[in-house]
Chains A and B, each alone.
Chain A
């Protein structure tokens, strides 16, 4: 049976970045793909910080936990499974 190597998509030498996931007070080093695209809401300018990571690392209980990227502590506000659910896109709230 074909087994996916999900870590190959999260190489920090390529387009992933190092992050710290604070799950229930236990800091865990993780790799995620971080995006911070421009987003305008109700005619107010801003960005849409989001991180893509493995679903096994970020279970449903990740919502409400924090993800620190480049020293910025983000709160995970939503978890969106992508395609087959192996990866999830985490919506992040800025401090």
Chain B
């Protein structure tokens, strides 16, 4: 059995976002530990909450699912941190707008819902993090969450 489509979507997003001009190979999927300065500027990629709906009650029914794809841009630098954040956001949006990205792992689309930017200036250098929230709808059979329909 293949991986759950949540993981397939997360992995496909991380692959799509690897090699962007500003963040390069510094793309981390489901990272729970703090990023180090050498890791930056970077992207954190994760799949979060998921809404699941069904239009029937038959045994092998189809589930309409929408998983939240989180992409976080992380920057730590003394100046122009917000400019760098906006540049990364641009690169991510463009990368996820291609047909291949919009249909990655069998997804029906990748829709940007919200961008939140948080700045922190208590430490040795300012840290800026932008969280981009995408909705990724897909369909599976009830008994096969690893196969997109």
Contact = CB atoms under 8 A, between A and B. Distances in A.
A47 B124 contact: yes
B76 interface: yes
Interface residues of A, number: 17
Interface stretch (A4-12, A14-22, A36-44, A58-66): A36-44
B122 A45 contact: no
Interface stretch (B3-11, B33-41, B87-95): B33-41
Interface size class of B (residues with CB under 8 A): 10 to 19
A92 interface: yes
B124 A94 contact: yes
A91 interface: yes
Given A43-B35, A44-B34, A46-B76, A91 B122 contact: yes
Contacts of A44: 34-35, 37, 40, 74, 76, 127, 129
Contacts, number: 53
Of the listed residues A40, A44, A92, the one surrounded by the most CB atoms of chain B closer than 10 A to its CB is A44
A46 B127 contact: yes
Nearest to A91: B122
11 contacts: A41-B120, A41-B122, A41-B123, A41-B127, A42-B74, A42-B127, A45-B36, A46-B127, A48-B124, A77-B121, A95-B78
Interface of A: 39-49, 77, 91-95
Please provide the 4 A-B residue pairs with the shortest distance between their CB atoms, ordered closest to farther: A94-B124, A41-B120, A45-B34, A41-B127
Interface of B: 34-37, 40, 44, 74, 76, 78, 118, 120-125, 127-129
